[in-house]
């Protein structure tokens, strides 16, 4: 088999495999592990305006142990909405030291703003109900590399 033909077959095989649990337009984002007590969250990290604008839009589901961490260059009031987002999410607005400032449940496909109660650089989105099921609330401290060296 010629190398070009083999490469084309490999690409076709990849493209024809079933979509991952996170369907929709995807970016190849870096991942970081966060913890809240003994609970772990495997997060994709969105740092650029384009990554943040896409966020979790168009995905039909997300594994329960996963989320997306939005990292902004400076602390300010952060507001999120759910246009084109198909799954219910909870946004945790997080201070530089990893402390959850406030939690906001967000309904899919709405343009209602959900904002941080004070300036923050981090917002963690997870499946709605994840924090509640784990008994986590405002004041809980998250741990992980992003919070190791607060600016």
Segment 7-50, tens digit of pLDDT: 333 333 333 333 334 455 566 899 999 999 899 999 999 999 99
Segment 59-91, tens digit of pLDDT: 999 999 999 999 999 999 999 999 999 999 999
Beta-strand pair 114-115/79-80: antiparallel
Token pair 């198909």: residue: 86
Q: How far apart, in Å, are the Cα atoms of 52 and each of 13, 23, 37?
A: 30, 17, 27
What domains, with CATH codes, occur in the chain? 23-147 (2.60.120.1140)
CB atoms within 10 A of CB 28: 5
pTM above 0.85, yes or no: no
């Amino acid at each position: 088999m010629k190398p070009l033909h083999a490469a084309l077959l490999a690409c076709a095989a990849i493209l024809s495999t079933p979509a991952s649990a996170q369907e929709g337009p995807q970016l190849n984002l870096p991942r970081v592990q966060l913890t809240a007590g003994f609970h772990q969250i495997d997060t994709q990290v969105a740092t650029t305006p384009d990554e943040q604008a896409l966020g979790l839009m168009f995905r039909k589901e997300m594994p329960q142990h996963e989320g997306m961490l939005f990292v902004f260059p400076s602390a300010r009031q952060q507001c999120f909405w759910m246009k084109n987002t198909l799954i219910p999410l909870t946004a945790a607005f997080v201070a530089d030291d990893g402390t959850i400032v406030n939690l906001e449940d967000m309904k899919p496909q709405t343009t209602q703003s959900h904002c941080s109660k004070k300036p923050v650089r981090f917002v963690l989105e997870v499946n709605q109900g994840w924090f509640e099921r784990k008994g986590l609330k405002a004041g809980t401290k998250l741990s992980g590399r992003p919070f190791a060296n607060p600016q």
